[in-house]
């Protein structure tokens, strides 16, 4: 059954900017940092508190809460046809160690606001609607990130992920057991269940919407990426005595690599993204020539051919710049650019226009859970601006009015998907 234009407009009008903002501020208390950001890494006590509050709101909405074997949570609003596959929206409540209030949380809370708006508009859809809170999107504590949606789409990876050991030495399965303990008994949700469509709201994490004066980004896809872990092996020596000519200095070699790799990735069009986010010398004593440096590489680019060509030069360049040191370059993740569904993009564009929100098409530079959902169903994403494009930073900021515009688009889009 197709939902009427009038109903869609009524749903958009029922989105409550103040309620949505209050939900963000309530969530931001869990893991709040002194600098106004959030440290709420996956399956920590802070994440568990956020999950608990989400379940309380679901109860207030008379929605059913279930959880799957990797900890993804599903808030289900019934439709008139209980056997129909649901329309889904959502994102993640976990954050980077020094993250902001909106990355991830907005996608979950825009979904919850859509449910409140549907109630307020008195709409019952044909299909059920599910708001999903995916586990461990950020991947700071447990690697890799985008884990919950990845296991949802590829359940064969569950066992491997449950055995991942976090930065703090905790096994994921043990952290998840504690999460279950905090949340109390919940029904099980299967992986890879039939879904009619998926749409995810998110802050843009880049400055293009802000620079162009648009409120809504109709996301065309997610750029591909290659991620590496690099280990430079030198030789520990006394820094005051060992002649320079005889040193195997891992911090010098690693620094040469980082400078050389940035040169390789230079791009006047500023499309390529390249980052060394982790870099540490061992043993880390001022008077010891470091015998080892570890660093990470995160390399992204929309063009699959360019990414293949440049990515394949990384290991060779590191070796060429290693001097007397050895270097091991391990590729730990690799994904092609994923295009989103044209039909979902059309729904998002129409919803934005219906809500008078200026909009533009754009490609996502960041990975998101929607990438994994796109393998299972028609999927898309809605971006809203964030101040100066800053995220993965405690200073991350977005306005209540832009968030509400995004929620209006999400509410209409899931309603249209749910019919």
Residues 349-408, interacting with a second copy (CB under 8 A): 364-367, 389-395
Nearer to a second copy by Cβ, of 197 and 234: the residue is 234
CA angle 282, 162, 66 (to 5 degrees): 135
Residue number with CB closer to a second copy (20 or 203): 203
- Which residue from 96, 133, 136, 372 is in contact with a second copy, where contact means CB under 8 A? 96
| H helix count then E strand count, the chain | 14, 17
CB of 175 to a second copy, least distance (A): 18
Of 23-31, 42-50, 281-289, 348-356: span binding a second copy (CB under 8 A)? 281-289
Task: For residues 50 and 94, give the distance between their C-alpha atoms in angstroms, rounded to a whole number.
Answer: 9
Work out the number of other CB atoms within 10 angstroms of the CB of residue 196.
Answer: 21
Q: DSSP for 87-144?
A: EEEEEE----TTB-SSTTHHHHHHHHHHHHHHHHHT---SS-EEEEEES-SS-SSSSS
Do β-strands 64-67 and 359-364 pair in parallel, antiparallel, or remain unpaired?
unpaired
Quote the least distance from Cβ 231 to a second copy, whole Å. Answer: 14
Residue with Cβ nearer a second copy (53 or 276): 276
**Smaller CB separation from a second copy, 197 or 217:** 217
Q: Is 212 in the site for a second copy (CB under 8 A)?
A: no
Single out the segment in contact with a second copy by CB under 8 A; choices: 73-81, 94-102, 346-354, 372-380: 94-102
Would you say 152 and 378 are in contact if contact means Cβ atoms under 8 Å apart? no
Reported as type and span, the H/E element at residue 188 is strand 187-188
Instruction: State the minimum distance, in angstroms, from the CB of residue 245 to a second copy.
Output: 5
Is residue 296 involved in binding a second copy (CB under 8 A)? yes
Q: Give the H or E element holding residue 179.
A: helix 172-183
Shortest spacing between CB 329 and a second copy, in angstroms: 14
User: In whole angstroms, how close is the CB of 109 to a second copy at the nearest point?
Assistant: 20
User: Which residues touch 108 (CB under 8 Å, ≥6 apart)?
Assistant: 54, 90, 91, 92, 93, 131, 132, 133
Measured from the CB of residue 306, what is the shortest distance to a second copy in angstroms?
15
Comparison of 86 and 406: residue with beta carbon closer to a second copy: 406
User: Site size for a second copy, by CB under 8 A?
Assistant: 74
Closest contact distance (angstroms) between CB of 389 and a second copy is 6
Vertex 217, ends 196 and 416: CA angle to 5°? Answer: 30
Q: Out of 106, 116, 295, 340, which residue is the one contacting a second copy (CB under 8 A)? A: 295
The nearest distance, CB 56 to a second copy, in angstroms, is: 30
Residue 209: CB atoms within 10 Å: 23
Coil, strand or helix at 253: helix
Q: Which stretch binds a second copy (CB under 8 A): 71-79, 124-132, 200-208, 303-311?
A: 200-208
Report the residue number, 276 or 315, with the smaller CB distance to a second copy.
276
Long-range CB contacts for residues 45-50, cutoff 8 Å, separation at least 24: 45/182, 47/93, 47/94, 47/179, 48/178, 48/179, 48/182, 48/183, 49/182, 50/93, 50/105
Q: Which stretch binds a second copy (CB under 8 A): 80-88, 169-177, 199-207, 335-343?
A: 199-207
90: nearest Cα among 72, 78, 71: 72
CB of 405 to a second copy, least distance (A): 20
Which alpha helices (H) appear in 184-327, and where do they start and end? 208-212, 250-264, 304-311, 314-320
User: Per rule CB under 8 A, is residue 134 in the interface with a second copy?
Assistant: no
Residues 221-280 that bind a second copy (CB under 8 A): 223, 225, 227, 235-246, 249, 251-252, 254-256, 258-259, 262, 267, 270, 272-280
The least distance separating a second copy from the CB of residue 94, rounded to whole angstroms, comes to: 12
Whether residue 50 is preceded by a cis peptide bond, meaning omega within 30 degrees of 0, is no
CA distance 315 to 329: 6
Residue 2 or 287 having the CB closest to a second copy = 287
Q: Are 121 and 56 in contact (CB under 8 A)?
A: no
Instruction: Compute the least distance from the CB of residue 161 to a second copy, in Å.
Output: 17
Cβ nearer to a second copy, comparing 35 with 180: 35
Residue from 97, 155, 324, 419 in contact with a second copy (CB under 8 A): 97
């Amino acid at each position: 059954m197709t939902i009427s234009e009038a109903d869609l407009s009524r749903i958009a009008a029922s989105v409550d900017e103040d309620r949505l903002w209050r939900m963000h501020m309530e969530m931001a208390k869990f893991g709040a940092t002194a600098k106004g950001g959030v440290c709420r890494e996956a399956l920590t006590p802070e994440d568990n508190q956020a999950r608990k509050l989400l379940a309380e709101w679901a109860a207030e909405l008379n929605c059913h809460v279930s959880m799957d074997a990797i900890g993804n949570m599903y808030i289900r609003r019934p439709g008139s046809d209980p056997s129909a596959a649901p329309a889904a929206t959502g994102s993640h409540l976990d954050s980077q160690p020094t993250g902001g209030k909106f990355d991830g949380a907005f996608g979950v809370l825009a979904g919850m606001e859509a449910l409140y708006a549907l109630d307020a508009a008195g709409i019952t859809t044909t299909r059920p609607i599910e708001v999903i809170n995916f586990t461990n999107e950020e991947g700071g504590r447990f690697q890799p990130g985008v884990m919950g949606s990845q296991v949802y789409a590829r359940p064969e990876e569950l066992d491997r992920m449950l055995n991942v050991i976090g930065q703090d030495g905790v096994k994921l399965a043990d952290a998840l057991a504690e999460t279950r303990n905090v949340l109390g008994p919940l029904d099980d949700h299967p992986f890879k269940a039939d879904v009619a469509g998926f749409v995810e709201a998110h802050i843009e994490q880049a400055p293009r919407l802000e620079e162009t004066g648009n409120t809504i980004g109709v996301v065309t896809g997610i750029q591909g990426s290659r991620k590496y872990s690099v280990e430079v092996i030198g030789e520990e020596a006394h820094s005051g005595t060992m002649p320079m000519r005889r040193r195997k200095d891992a911090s010098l070699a690693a620094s040469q690599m980082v400078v050389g790799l940035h040169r390789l990735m230079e791009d006047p069009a500023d499309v390529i993204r390249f980052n060394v986010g982790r870099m540490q010398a061992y043993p880390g004593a001022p008077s010891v020539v470091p015998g080892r440096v570890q660093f990470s590489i995160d390399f992204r680019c929309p063009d699959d051919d360019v990414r293949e060509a440049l990515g394949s030069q990384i290991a060779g360049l590191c070796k060429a710049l290693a001097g007397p040191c050895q270097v091991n370059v391990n590729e730990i993740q690799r994904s092609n650019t994923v295009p989103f569904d044209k039909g979902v993009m059309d729904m998002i564009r129409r919803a934005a226009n219906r809500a008078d929100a200026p909009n533009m098409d754009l490609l996502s530079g960041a990975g998101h859970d929607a990438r994994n959902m796109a393998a299972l169903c028609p999927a898309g994403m809605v971006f809203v601006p964030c101040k100066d494009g800053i995220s993965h930073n405690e200073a991350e900021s977005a306005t209540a009015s832009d968030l509400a515009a995004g929620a209006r688009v999400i509410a209409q889009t899931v309603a249209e998907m749910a019919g």
